[in-house]
Structure 1
């Protein structure tokens, strides 16, 4: 992952990170405020030996106390020391409970013993610490064997008395708040990374490139009003979304398809925008002066005739079974060099018709007479129609809905084309967010800044109405060869009208 990926993760999950950080901070604050403040007091005892004044004796005594110092530390929390303290101060607790409040330690290479006591009362904490120091100073000499003169060889002297603390030692509110915020922040970042790792949806062109190993041909911005104006290139040609189709048109012209120019436009699953992408791309190509043939090869759920507002009762299926000539059902549209062949009636055997010799002959004839042939096909995963057409055409253009198509679905669609030997010309990201961490459509702001004006709904409807055509004279087709094309009816399957 690159730095930009980590930044995108943080931007995308910033709400979760902030919420968990605040929860950690709140939990730490709640814990700190509900704890009873405790105060700490500390006293120090010096351990020495009662020996002669020679240097050798002093050295020997120092070594003896350092060896015994850890033993005295352990004795400080035993009942033999604490029971006296409990009785003197009338604490009313057991020695084991008092030992939980006491911490005794000895600094390294020294003969000092530090006695720390925690209590909810600062004065009582100081009194207990001093009392333990005094009790230890009297108990330890009695435990050591007496010397020849009847004296204990060990002497404990209290060198620092405990004083009542002015502020509580616990809870440490600033430290607890810092730790709570840190734990919450780490949890938020961890959850954000986990969500990203477990997210198997294709969100960026780089994700699609890694799966398909095909180039990105363009990105179509998400438009909340896409259902109201599907033909955006015709209805609102100055919009940023229309500009994205013109960019797709430009990129398509740079593809090297071996001299051929027929493409099947498909997707992995339904509702990824393949039909609207195909139609808008066809309009954009026609606006650039290209002679375009748009064929609705979705013989299961045809949409082209509905979107373009043309008669779709007769079309491709009728041509393939030899019922009509292609010139009789192929209609010009929008006053452009765009000709549309609707799907016609829905047949019982779509895959067989699309894989027939008649379909291959039709595609060959259209490639000769048009600059570009676009076939709107069904999704790849539910049915095999698009894979069959992908082999018959020069290549397939795969529509990938950003944030909707999963990696597994895209891999399955790519494999479906590879299995039949079809070439994947490239992919187009659709429904790309224009804002937020997953935004990719950089041309969005450019369109507005360069004089974009919103067309009124009436204007758009008027343009769409003028673009519709019910039937065109046969002479308006590009060549007489196409008009006279009448395929041999080798497939006798009767279409049915079950729409």
Structure 2
């Protein structure tokens, strides 16, 4: 029987938007940063000044209604022409273009009157004043030309009402900060949702129970975590006790640890399992059966030593390659759990000829494990599922299976493949341990037989 591969399993990613405290803090931080950057960018903008002048066009004598209409329409024609702005620029000696002056100025005329308000806003206060000052003579020349200097409009006079007013434009710091924060919040939510959609991972014990269809015995920090108040030895002992009190058949001589991934946290957890068993007076052997990664062997700095691969290939005996745990260099996180009981804990490295050992995983592994299990409890670090190393025979000979996954790291796609593989090759009692960064939560559960998908 072969283990399903990731490429041949139709595992649909389960997308759920998860808003953990860490993600929420990230979104809030991104929102605040965007708002702050928008405020700083607004404050860095150059200061702008607005010069305002009110002109009153007064004809030389009383006008009829038709004459008023003619004057008003002529004013509108002059004020709306590009020629007016071009002459303003020339008269004021400005380097603005007609388009930029139109965009930065505003002319308003009181309906049915010759009262005109002209506002010019630029970053140069003197330039704004010069442009406004040039409005009266420019308007006079162009308006008289527009009216063809008819007698009833002669002479036209212009009153500069109230002089030129200059004000500094306020910068919309608060408004832009709110807009920046709002855009940042929306962008952060969208990016988090996109990331979670493209890379759906296990995030909670409930996710693990659903995808593996197995009870979660424990959800605990990595063995080496120092940022939480917990005792690693008691935590691992709690996992072992949960196994023994969950209705599983005893004695358990072969405890196989499987999972979708191999990482440092899982390697330390497997070593902690073996060390805790030895600490309770039971001789144990840690077996690095992951011939692809050899994570345990690398962690103990024994990756270049003969081991399981040579036994499977028939070039070495168990007695020749089995080493005392103390001969390796255990990670600092596991040292406190060992507690001076190294003589009760042996280690079987993955070996050097791992490619050759893979061919013996199907036929020779059962006998190798039988010889060891007669004297000691075996804690076997199995290959990753899915993966290139044959693991069906190892799983089928296990007395119990522990599926180890990592919160916010194990992909749902891989977890689903692992679940399907375990159901295909094993009916042994199984449960999940989820490594996370939160307080230990030991759960009790019962799993007398492997669950089946409905």
Say whether the fold is shared (TM-score over 0.5).
yes
Task: Give the match for residue 204 of structure 2.
Answer: 205
Deviation at 1:179, TM superposition (A): 1.8
Q: Distance in 2 between matches of 1:136 and 1:360?
A: 108
Q: Over residues 16-46 of structure 1, what are the superposed CA-to-partner deviations in whole Å (9 max), with x where a residue is unaligned?
A: 66655554444333333xx5x3323042669
Q: Distance in 1 between matches of 2:159 and 2:106?
A: 18
SS of the equivalent of 1:28 reads helix
Which of 250, 259, 266 is the matching residue for 1:267?
A: 259
Q: Distance in 2 between matches of 1:355 and 1:396?
A: 18
Task: Give the match for residue 248 of structure 1.
Answer: 239
Task: Give the match for residue 359 of structure 1.
Answer: 366
Deviation at 1:240, TM superposition (A): 2.6
Aligned-pair RMSD on alpha carbons?
6.0
Pick 1 or 2: higher relative contact order, CA cutoff 8 A, min separation 6.
2
Q: Distance in 2 between matches of 1:406 and 1:344?
A: 26
User: Does the aligned pair in 2 maintain the 1:21–1:184 contact within 8 Å?
Assistant: yes
Indicate whether 1:296 and 2:307 are aligned.
Answer: no
Deviation at 1:69, TM superposition (A): 6.7
Task: Give the match for residue 268 of structure 2.
Answer: 276
1:455-494 equivalent positions in 2, closer than 5 A: none
SS of the equivalent of 1:164 reads strand
Task: Name stretches of at least 5 consecutive residues in structure 1 with no aligned partner.
Answer: 53-60, 227-237, 433-439, 445-499
Task: Give the match for residue 467 of structure 1.
Answer: none
Task: Give the match for residue 452 of structure 2.
Answer: none
Q: Distance in 2 between matches of 1:22 and 1:124?
A: 36
Q: Distance in 2 between matches of 1:254 and 1:407?
A: 29
Q: Distance in 1 between matches of 2:317 and 2:165?
A: 103
Task: Give the match for residue 168 of structure 2.
Answer: 168
User: Does the aligned pair in 2 maintain the 1:330–1:340 contact within 8 Å?
Assistant: yes
SS of the equivalent of 1:198 reads helix
Indicate whether 1:397 and 2:408 are aligned.
Answer: no
User: Does the aligned pair in 2 maintain the 1:42–1:161 contact within 8 Å?
Assistant: yes
Deviation at 1:5, TM superposition (A): 1.2
1:149-160 equivalent positions in 2, closer than 5 A: none
Task: Give the match for residue 190 of structure 1.
Answer: 187
User: Does the aligned pair in 2 maintain the 1:266–1:396 contact within 8 Å?
Assistant: yes
User: Does the aligned pair in 2 maintain the 1:245–1:284 contact within 8 Å?
Assistant: yes
Task: Give the match for residue 40 of structure 1.
Answer: 51
Q: Which moved more, 1:246-255 or 1:91-100?
A: 91-100
Task: Give the match for residue 4 of structure 2.
Answer: none
User: Does the aligned pair in 2 maintain the 1:201–1:404 contact within 8 Å?
Assistant: no
Q: Distance in 1 between matches of 2:241 and 2:215?
A: 14
Deviation at 1:284, TM superposition (A): 4.0
Q: Distance in 2 between matches of 1:68 and 1:413?
A: 87
Question: Structure 1 residues 133, 75: closer, same or farther in 2, change over 3 A?
Answer: closer
Q: Over residues 181-220 of structure 1, what are the superposed CA-to-partner deviations in whole Å (9 max), with x where a residue is unaligned?
A: 7437734872575267337384733565565454433244
Question: Structure 1 residues 177, 403: closer, same or farther in 2, change over 3 A?
Answer: same
Task: Give the match for residue 115 of structure 1.
Answer: 117
Q: Distance in 2 between matches of 1:260 and 1:69?
A: 105
Q: Distance in 2 between matches of 1:313 and 1:99?
A: 84
Deviation at 1:264, TM superposition (A): 1.5
Deviation at 1:12, TM superposition (A): 3.9
Task: Give the match for residue 384 of structure 2.
Answer: 379
Q: Distance in 2 between matches of 1:297 and 1:138?
A: 100
Q: Distance in 2 between matches of 1:73 and 1:143?
A: 15
Deviation at 1:298, TM superposition (A): 1.4
User: Does the aligned pair in 2 maintain the 1:313–1:344 contact within 8 Å?
Assistant: yes
Deviation at 1:265, TM superposition (A): 0.2
User: Does the aligned pair in 2 maintain the 1:265–1:398 contact within 8 Å?
Assistant: yes
Indicate whether 1:77 and 2:83 are aligned.
Answer: no
Question: Structure 1 residues 223, 245: closer, same or farther in 2, change over 3 A?
Answer: closer
Q: Distance in 1 between matches of 2:295 and 2:17?
A: 44
Question: Structure 1 residues 424, 204: closer, same or farther in 2, change over 3 A?
Answer: farther
Deviation at 1:288, TM superposition (A): 7.2
User: Does the aligned pair in 2 maintain the 1:115–1:129 contact within 8 Å?
Assistant: no
Deviation at 1:417, TM superposition (A): 3.5
Deviation at 1:76, TM superposition (A): 1.2
Task: Name stretches of at least 5 consecutive residues in structure 2 with no aligned partner.
Answer: 1-14, 326-337, 442-454
